[in-house]
Structure 1
Amino acid sequence: MEQFATDVLAFIRTHPEMAALVIGFTAFAESFAFVSFFFPGFAILVAAGAMVQAGLIDPVAAALAGAAGAALGDAVSYWIGIKFGHMLPDAWPFRRHPDALEQGATFFKKWGWPSVFIGRFFGPLRAFVPLAAGICRMPLVPFMAANVISAVVWAPALLFSGYVIGTIARSGWSIEQKALAAGAALAAFAGLVWLSRKIFKTG
């Protein structure tokens, strides 16, 4: 997958006019339950943010495409949950990863519709909470509201994190200043990971 991500980023560099389409597809795949197991979407989106900082990608088009792709990925997962929920435990890839579906269902049952928003920001849950929402027959309107709002926040946030990384890398700061900024970013990320685990354990 690392080589795949490298190839995707190289394609964006050589074909910047296709960047929005690639970013939209990446966000869709990262949010779609049947692909997210194997797709390095998170890394690609963060790296795309560094390309925004370098002036290779239009930031507005990238953010809109990422948000649209993410919302569509969740919507398709939700629809599959409604239509085929009873069949999913016996379907690939859940035959091999039954815990993924179970964790998504547990989280959704604990938190209800806010789980669709919250789950977007935590990798272990991102693609499976919408599927669980469909299986549990969550009403469409609150699902889509949480889905779209979270997508509009999530995609630009990933691109922005890459933008910050690109800014640090290209700055004229000393090594100590770069290390301090990188340490602060890592601390913030570690805090989010801790919070996600805390929330899930309470579920």
Structure 2
Amino acid sequence: MHIQEWLESVPAIAVYLLVAGVIGLESLGIPLPGEIVLVSATLLAASQDHINPYVLGACAVAGAIVGDSLGYLIGRKGGKPLLDWLGRKFPKHFGPHHVATAEKAFTKWGMWAVFIGRFIALLRIFAGPLAGVLKMPYWKFLIANVLGGIAWAGGTVALIYTVGKVAEEWIGKFSYIGLAVAVLFGIGSFVVMRIKAKKAAEAAEQEPAESASVAAAD
């Protein structure tokens, strides 16, 4: 079977459920590649007409909001023992250093930590459970959760889908030149987003060290 025929045979509902499920589980606190799955599914939607980008975006947003809300409830009920258990199960994602960094961000930014956390891998996994552990009022969490889910999931789908459609048009007109330009544009946009997220995470990590240095000097 030709690759194009195989892609056309993939049921749209399977793509929607996969995206909603992976993003929901990631938002719940399980370290999964939600961003990669969302980007891949959006590129597939750009090349396959039977996958609706609006439905895909809605599923991604729903998965993000529901997953974060469940994570909040689990964190609210489980508290610190939950973070300790996650630290033992996923030390690369929930180690003491990661928890301290995330708590610092929540203490400083509050609702903004939930919203901005959507765009930062570390906080995207921590946002729901940690907000519950720290007893953030649910109405505040829900507002930031909904707005962050729409901005991140909806924005990602809109950006990647546009890049994918432009790539298809350029491929038809300019063959490999168009493909190269489209790919470079897409990679450039992704790299810029990742650099900004990394700088924000590094800034949050440096603050505890700076505070400790000042305290030691005093």
TM range (shorter): 0.7 to 0.9
Where structure 1 has 5 or more consecutive residues not aligned to the other structure, the ranges are 1-9
Larger proportion of helix? 2
The code of the aligned residue for 2:104 comes to T
Q: How does 1:162-173 map to 2 (within 5 A)?
A: 162-170=160-168, 171-172=170-171, 173=174
Counterpart position of 2:36: 43
Counterpart position of 1:111: 109
Shift in Å at residue 19 of structure 1? 2.5
Counterpart position of 1:29: 25
The code of the aligned residue for 2:136 comes to M
Counterpart position of 1:125: 123
Correspondence 1:72 to 2:66: yes
Contact 1:74–1:147, Cα closer than 8 Å, also in 2: yes
The code of the aligned residue for 1:49 comes to T
Shift in Å at residue 17 of structure 1? 3.0
Contact 1:53–1:166, Cα closer than 8 Å, also in 2: yes
The code of the aligned residue for 2:153 comes to A
CA–CA distance in 2 between the matches of 1:178 and 1:68? 29
Counterpart position of 1:18: 14
Contact 1:116–1:143, Cα closer than 8 Å, also in 2: yes
Report how many residues are paired: 190
Higher relative contact order (CA 8 A, sep 6+): 1
Change (3 A) 1:145 1:90: same
Change (3 A) 1:111 1:56: same
Secondary structure of 1:126's match? helix
Contact 1:81–1:134, Cα closer than 8 Å, also in 2: yes
Secondary structure of 1:193's match? helix
Q: Aligned to 2:141, which of 140, 143, 151?
A: 143
Q: Aligned to 1:90, which of 84, 106, 125?
A: 84
Larger mean CA deviation between 94-103 and 112-121 belongs to 94-103
Change (3 A) 1:21 1:179: closer
Shift in Å at residue 28 of structure 1? 0.3
Q: Aligned to 2:204, which of 195, 200, 203?
A: 200
The code of the aligned residue for 2:68 comes to D
- The superposition leaves residues 94-153 of structure 1 with CA deviations (integer Å, 9 ceiling, x where unpaired) of 123323333221210111121110111111111112222111111111110100111111
Contact 1:12–1:22, Cα closer than 8 Å, also in 2: no
Counterpart position of 1:189: 193
4+ residue runs over 6 A deviation = none
Normalised by the size of structure 2, how large is the TM-score?
A: 0.75
Where structure 2 has 5 or more consecutive residues not aligned to the other structure, the ranges are 1-5, 208-218
Change (3 A) 1:89 1:153: closer
Contact 1:13–1:56, Cα closer than 8 Å, also in 2: no
Shift in Å at residue 14 of structure 1? 1.5
Q: Percent identity?
A: 26
The code of the aligned residue for 2:21 comes to F
Greater radius of gyration (CA): 2
